[in-house]
Amino acid sequence: MRIFLNYLVLLIFLIGCNQSNNLSLENIKLENKSCENCPLVIINIPKATEKDRISDAINTGLQEEIIAELTFDEEDEVADIEDAINSFISGYRDIQKKHPEEVAAWEARINAVVSYEDRQMITIKLDTYLFTGGAHGYGATRFLNFNKNKGSEIEDWELFIDKEDFVRFAENKFRKQEKIPKDESINSTGYMFERDSFYLPENIGFTREGIKLLYNQYEVASYAAGPIELVLPYKEVKKYLSGEIKS
């Protein structure tokens, strides 16, 4: 009986320690009020609730991304997400006044979730979809990686011991996945890498399955090709990661 109780206490302690590694987050939903001349805006994002540097970094990082997506006029004074929503709505109304018969209903959908978290870092995956007229809308994904210990966002160059070494590794994996012969150019099968040279995408994020390299639409291929993803298991990339990234 005593052995069982000791085991139970240990189990509770380990669970508590594991839970304490995760940041305290709450879900925030923002949606513009329905009206005749309003575009649809729906935003679902996590908000870090603690009063510390890492919480400030996460909340600020998400806010800056959303402001950049929704601000229609660069001259608008936009201080927060509410201001950005108002800028988006104002932009729609301005266009509607100029071209009332041609303007389709705009919409913006933004959703963010935690894609990875451990003791040292947390990754937020931010998905956006915007339609502001034209043949189709545009969707994109952005990864935001944060260092918990430093309380700051991690730049992509900080992820690797030797970025050039990792690029060579990633190119081999990309060629294998996309069936691009080693002795032919990276664009030989229809890709559109600038200067016909492989490079990492603008978005590198951590997931449960591994590091995800994500090329959004138009980044290295046509819109019709959709986003291009390459997931590299941690056991294969661990030797390339900097000392502060322990996945």
Angle at 105 between CA 219 and CA 228, to 5 degrees: 20
Q: Which helix (H) or strand (E) holds 98?
A: helix 81-98
Q: Determine the topology of domain 23-153 in CATH.
A: Heat Shock Protein 90 (3.30.565)
User: Roughly what angle, to the nearest 10 degrees, separates helices 53-70 and 81-98?
Assistant: 0
pTM listed for this prediction: 0.86
Residue pair 122/23 in contact by the 8 Å Cβ criterion: yes
Q: Where in the chain is the domain with CATH 3.30.565.40?
A: 23-153
Q: Where in the chain is the domain with CATH 3.90.640.20?
A: 156-240
Helix (H, G, I), strand (E, B) or coil at 173: helix
156-240 CATH, one of 3.90.640.20, 3.60.10.10, 3.30.70.20, 3.40.50.11810: 3.90.640.20
Per residue of the chain (247 residues), what is the pLDDT tens digit?
Answer: 544 444 444 444 444 444 458 999 999 999 987 677 789 999 999 999 999 999 999 999 999 999 999 998 877 889 999 999 999 999 999 988 888 887 788 999 999 999 999 999 999 999 999 999 888 899 999 999 999 999 999 999 899 999 999 999 999 999 999 999 999 999 999 999 999 999 999 999 999 999 999 999 999 999 889 999 999 999 999 999 986 565 5
Q: Distance of CA 72 to CAs 14, 30, 80, 214, Å?
A: 49, 18, 14, 26
Q: Cα–Cα distance between 124 and 117 in angstroms, integer?
A: 9
